[in-house]
Amino acid sequence: MTQASELGIGVAGATGRTGGRVVAACLRDPELRLVLALASPTSSALGSDAGELVGHGAAGVPVTADLREEVGARPDVLIDFSVPSASARLAGWAAEHGVALVIATTGHDAAELEAVRAAGQRVPLVLAPNTSPGVAVLARALRLVARSLDASFDVELVDVHHRTKRDAPSGTARALAAIVDAERERPTGISSLRLGGVPGDHTVHFAAQDETLSLTHRALDRTLFATGALRAARWIAGREAGVYSMDDVLFAS
């Protein structure tokens, strides 16, 4: 049972690289309570204790794949770091049960994204292709730069991620390019590099004949994404139904 002062958190993708960090950060925070840990139906971790998997010690929350056999208390907020095909099903379940959402998974196709956004008609959800506060600030700076530089500047965006990342370009690269494209006539070129274990770098290059200007964000550790997702979870809990962004989390009251 969650105490009145605790926010109940569910994590989809709890056995993954990033979801595991969310589980660990949640278990370290006395104001949060992990109540649900989801993985794929074929996960080798089904039935294992989510806390033990991240080296925290037993949390009393077994990893499950079956929302019908939901284990433990229903979360106040479900944080999704899984796969695009799972997000719509999770969002539908959350909408049905009044659970707020932080959708941090990326790479959805148009139908998957539409299904996720539809949940926003019934529950509050943060759609966050990047949960880093620094990227939210970069997005604002980028809008200003794109609006301020004239058409003689070429714009190219480079995203660098670890070799096992599934989507290319990254969700963040697409979102940043959309911001620039809204301010300029020529579409922004995107190059995606998949290298080693890089958590996530994004650089937007502006270049004219005589000068260049580049804006870079570099994630140094995946815990950044976990901390940002939990910040979004605290912010979204108890809000009106709707689709919100990390910009709202950081800058709206």
Ligand X SMILES: NC(=O)c1ccc[n+]([C@@H]2O[C@H](COP(=O)([O-])OP(=O)(O)OC[C@H]3O[C@@H](n4cnc5c(N)ncnc54)[C@H](OP(=O)(O)O)[C@@H]3O)[C@@H](O)[C@H]2O)c1
Choose, from 108, 161, 205, 217, the residue flagged as catalytic: 161
| Minimum CB distance to ligand X smaller for 115 or for 213 | 115
**Least distance between ligand X and beta carbon 59 (Å):** 16
| Minimum CB distance to ligand X smaller for 78 or for 149 | 78
- To which residue do tokens 């660098």 refer? 160
Check if 205 is active-site. Answer: no
User: Nearest residue by C-beta to ligand X?
Assistant: 16
Report the Cα 189 to chain-centroid distance in Å. 23
| Minimum CB distance to ligand X smaller for 130 or for 203 | 130
Choose, from 56, 97, 162, 165, the residue flagged as catalytic: 165
**Least distance between ligand X and beta carbon 170 (Å):** 7
**Least distance between ligand X and beta carbon 1 (Å):** 25
Please tell me the number of Cα atoms within 13 Å of 212 on its side-chain side: 8
**Kindly report the CA angle at 241 between 236 and 246, in degrees rounded to 5?**
40
| Minimum CB distance to ligand X smaller for 153 or for 217 | 217
Secondary structure class of 182 (helix, strand, coil):
coil
Secondary structure class of 213 (helix, strand, coil):
strand
**Least distance between ligand X and beta carbon 212 (Å):** 27
Check if 97 is active-site. Answer: no
Pairing status of strand 124-127 against strand 242-244: parallel
Count Cβ atoms below 10 Å from residue 88 Cβ, excluding itself: 20
Question: What's the rounded Cα separation, in Å, for the pair 59 and 31?
Answer: 15
| Minimum CB distance to ligand X smaller for 122 or for 174 | 174
Report the Cα 65 to chain-centroid distance in Å. 20
- Contacts with ligand X by CB under 6 A lie at 12-19, 38-40, 42-43, 45, 81-83, 85-86, 104-107, 128-131, 167, 225
**Least distance between ligand X and beta carbon 63 (Å):** 7
Provide the strand spans (E) within 81-238: 100-103, 124-127, 154-161, 189-194, 201-207, 212-218
Question: What's the rounded Cα separation, in Å, for the pair 225 and 227?
Answer: 6
Question: What's the rounded Cα separation, in Å, for the pair 94 and 112?
Answer: 15
Alpha helices in 29-83 (DSSP H): 50-53
Active site members: 161, 165
